[in-house]
Amino acid sequence: MKTADPELMRAINRFHVMDAIRRFGPIARVEISDRTQLSPTTVSAITAALLDDALIVPRAIDSVRDAKDAAKDGVGRGRPRVMLELNPDAAFVVGVKLAPDQITVATTNFRADVLKTLTLPIRIDRQPVSVIADLVEDGVRRCIADADLTMDKINGVCVGLPGVVERAAGVCRQSPIFRERDVPFAAELKSRLGIDASVDSDVNLVTLAEHWFGMGRGLDDFIVVSVEHNLGLGVIHNGELFRGANGISPDLGDLLFRPPATGSNGGSGVGRLSEVASEAAILEEVAALLNGEAESLRRSVRGMARVVELAEAGDQRVLGVLATAGEALGFAIANLIALFAPPKVILAGAALSAGDLFLSPLRSTVSSLTPANLTDVSEIVVHQWGADMWARGAAAMTLRDLYGAPWNTTGPATT
């Protein structure tokens, strides 16, 4: 823990004010004071500094007034409140999401509004790092240009990718994207683009996105299970992203389970969850069933759609694969509920496009396996987002740092 000095004190309070403004849209100082428990004086001083730095702006017309006051007591009386909001142009950031078969880029402003997105449907897994970096660099530059911005206006870029990523070090320890291990991708991008770059686990991006814009809004505790090419686990604990020891993100796919005795592989032995429940595993299994179109299934971006098609046509084997995957993941989620007892479990990712064929077995497994004393604790919701939302999460990850530790040291209140 850091030692406390006046500077930290103000950094904390400024962050609270920024956070209130971010979360509650255009908001008056009085309301910030209410929500943050800071005195009006302090809020005034901090917002003055923020206005000075142009991080926030007053909203010109006070048209929200009537709606506000109607909900309170009478029509507007007294001095009207000046609504404050984040200055959209205070900064711009870029988020990138790497998946094995596509790169998604999003440019956002300071309010995390997406200005432009760019999708490159290119198979990049197992390419050399330099090739991937080339593609990312190109995508970022194009997406910035698309938004009518220039590189010197961009404050940072964050890349999310599956696997084990050590954000603090800027290193990707291991990923299906890279052949190599311990790839210092943040430094690589930083030197290429000339701006701050960071890497993070893709599941952390979507977890932050859920916390900021999605189904985790307002919640201080929830977990996100992502079912993409890989499996990932994101945890929000006490309103903060839980990063595990050493900053190493947990990788859900490494979880073990014993396949059921009736399974294809004999019943003894031990498998990893990623071998059964990930999108990759499902496609692989189904491909093995269909000799004919195996290759196209594996290659296609829309492989999962084809699987669903087959399943809905009544192919029992495909249905079985989906059910097995759902049960295995349900097993794991029941375990996570036993461990974390989160009020909410959010399922995210491409494999969810299988819908109830996948989710029904999952839900029933979870509900039958959840410990008795936790049955009512956790609500499981499904949230299927496009890859651009993940990229937006990546942008948010950078913004989060900007809000918390402003690059521009805000001077004393007495300007």
Partner DNA sequence: GCTATTTTTTGTGAGATGCGTATTAAATCT
Partner DNA sequence: AGATTTAATACGCATCTCACAAAAAATAGC
In the complex, the residues that contact a second copy under the rule CB under 8 A are 1, 3-6, 8-10, 12-13, 16, 36-38, 164, 173-174, 181, 220-222, 233, 237, 239, 242, 244-246, 248, 250-252, 254-262, 266-268, 270, 272, 331, 334-335, 338-343, 369, 371, 373-374, 377
Q: Which is nearer to DNA, 25 or 260 (CB)?
A: 25
Q: Which two tokens stand for residue 256?
A: 């073990």
d(CA 31, CA 22): 13
- Total number of residues that touch DNA (CB under 7 A): 36
d(CA 207, CA 203): 6
Shortest gap between Cβ of 5 and DNA (angstroms)? Answer: 4
User: Judged by CB under 7 A, does residue 42 bind DNA?
Assistant: yes
Q: Which two tokens stand for residue 263?
A: 């399974």
Shortest gap between Cβ of 11 and DNA (angstroms)? Answer: 8
Q: Which two tokens stand for residue 404?
A: 């918390």
Q: Which range, of 30-38, 101-109, 254-262, 393-401, touches DNA by CB under 7 A?
A: 30-38
Q: Which range, of 277-285, 343-351, 380-388, 407-415, touches DNA by CB under 7 A?
A: 407-415
d(CA 43, CA 31): 10
Q: Which is nearer to a second copy, 306 or 400 (CB)?
A: 400
Farthest-apart Cα atoms in the chain, separation: 76
Shortest gap between Cβ of 61 and DNA (angstroms)? Answer: 10
Judging by DSSP bridges, how do beta strands 231-237 and 240-241 pair with one another? antiparallel
Helix (H) or strand (E) holding 319: helix 316-340
User: Judged by CB under 7 A, does residue 151 bind DNA?
Assistant: no
Shortest gap between Cβ of 37 and a second copy (angstroms)? Answer: 5
Shortest gap between Cβ of 402 and DNA (angstroms)? Answer: 18
Cross-strand bridge partners of residue 27:
84
Q: Which residue has the tokens 């908001």?
A: 27
Q: Which is nearer to a second copy, 123 or 181 (CB)?
A: 181
Q: Which is nearer to a second copy, 32 or 197 (CB)?
A: 32
Q: Which is nearer to DNA, 127 or 410 (CB)?
A: 410
Q: What is the DSSP letter of 61?
A: S
d(CA 320, CA 357): 9
Asked if 229 and 274 count as a contact pair (C-beta separation under 8 A), the reply is no
For residue 262, the partner it binds in DNA, a second copy, none, with Cβ less than 5 to 8 A by kind, is: a second copy
User: Judged by CB under 7 A, does residue 413 bind DNA?
Assistant: yes
User: Judged by CB under 7 A, does residue 45 bind DNA?
Assistant: yes
d(CA 415, CA 412): 6
Lay out the site mask for DNA across 1-20 (x = CB under 7 A, - = otherwise). --xxxxx-xx--xx------
User: Judged by CB under 7 A, does residue 76 bind DNA?
Assistant: yes
Q: Which residues contact 221 (CB under 8 A, 6 or more apart)?
A: 236, 237, 238, 340, 342, 343, 344
Angle between helices 279-289 and 303-312 (to 10 degrees): 60
Asked if 308 and 344 count as a contact pair (C-beta separation under 8 A), the reply is no
d(CA 15, CA 322): 45
Among 61, 67, 71, 75, binds DNA (CB under 7 A): 75
Among 23, 39, 191, 246, binds DNA (CB under 7 A): 39
Cross-strand bridge partners of residue 199:
159
Q: Which range, of 28-36, 132-140, 161-169, 201-209, touches DNA by CB under 7 A?
A: 28-36
For residue 80, the partner it binds in DNA, a second copy, none, with Cβ less than 5 to 8 A by kind, is: DNA
Provide the binding-site residues for DNA, judged by CB under 7 A.
3-7, 9-10, 13-14, 28-30, 37-42, 44-48, 73-82, 412-414
